[in-house]
Amino acid sequence: MTHQRQVIYEVMQSMHGHPSPEEVFVTVKELIPAISLATVYKNIHIFLASGILREVSPHHGSLRVEMNSHLHHHLVCTQCRSIRDISEAELIEFGGCRPVEQMLPGGFLAQRISVDVLGLCAQCQQTAAHAIAHSRIALQEAVSMP
């Protein structure tokens, strides 16, 4: 491992949640001012390819690295792309998912279960509600125009 790679890895280990390469870059740059974003990207891809680290999910539109090694699922906001962890127990309680053992017909051996709950986070719901209210007012004004 090169020194840069070691620093990038250590920085990522100290991060929680689902850091993007840009977020990792900001912290690594404090320790290695000369480092480039491209180098951070390259090293993260090496970590992912070697299985040291795991990508959250390839379909969230941007690369995010999973730093939570506990079994969990994700609540993904389709608007701001925020990703929040939800435990298996919470998801079953919610009723969106049956217990894992019942979900595997044909003797399928699951190695990793990845469930993404896509929707709007609390913050984006407020923004969306505001935008809808605003467009209604604009529409009323437009309709009532002589």
d(CA 107, CA 95): 24
Joined tokens for residue 27: 């912290």
Of the pair 29, 81, the CB lying nearest Zn ion is at 81
- Encoded one letter per residue, x for contact with Zn ion by CB under 5 A and - for no contact, window 103-122 reads ------------------x-
The distance of Cα 47 from the centroid of its chain, to the nearest Å, equals 17
Of the pair 104, 118, the CB lying nearest Zn ion is at 118
Considering the complex, what minimum distance in angstroms separates the CB of residue 64 from Zn ion? Answer: 9
Of the pair 6, 79, the CB lying nearest Zn ion is at 79
Of the pair 118, 138, the CB lying nearest Zn ion is at 118
CA distances to 9, 25, 130 from 29, in Å: 13, 6, 38
Residue of 68, 114, 135, 140 that binds Zn ion (CB under 5 A): 68
Considering the complex, what minimum distance in angstroms separates the CB of residue 78 from Zn ion? Answer: 8
d(CA 72, CA 115): 9
Residue 112 near residue 100, CB atoms below 8 Å? no
CA distances to 99, 101, 115 from 75, in Å: 18, 22, 9
The residues in 73-92 that bind Zn ion, with binding defined as CB under 5 A, are 77, 79-80, 85
Q: How many residues bind Zn ion (CB under 5 A)?
A: 7
Task: List contacts with Zn ion (CB under 5 A).
Answer: 68, 77, 79-80, 85, 121, 124
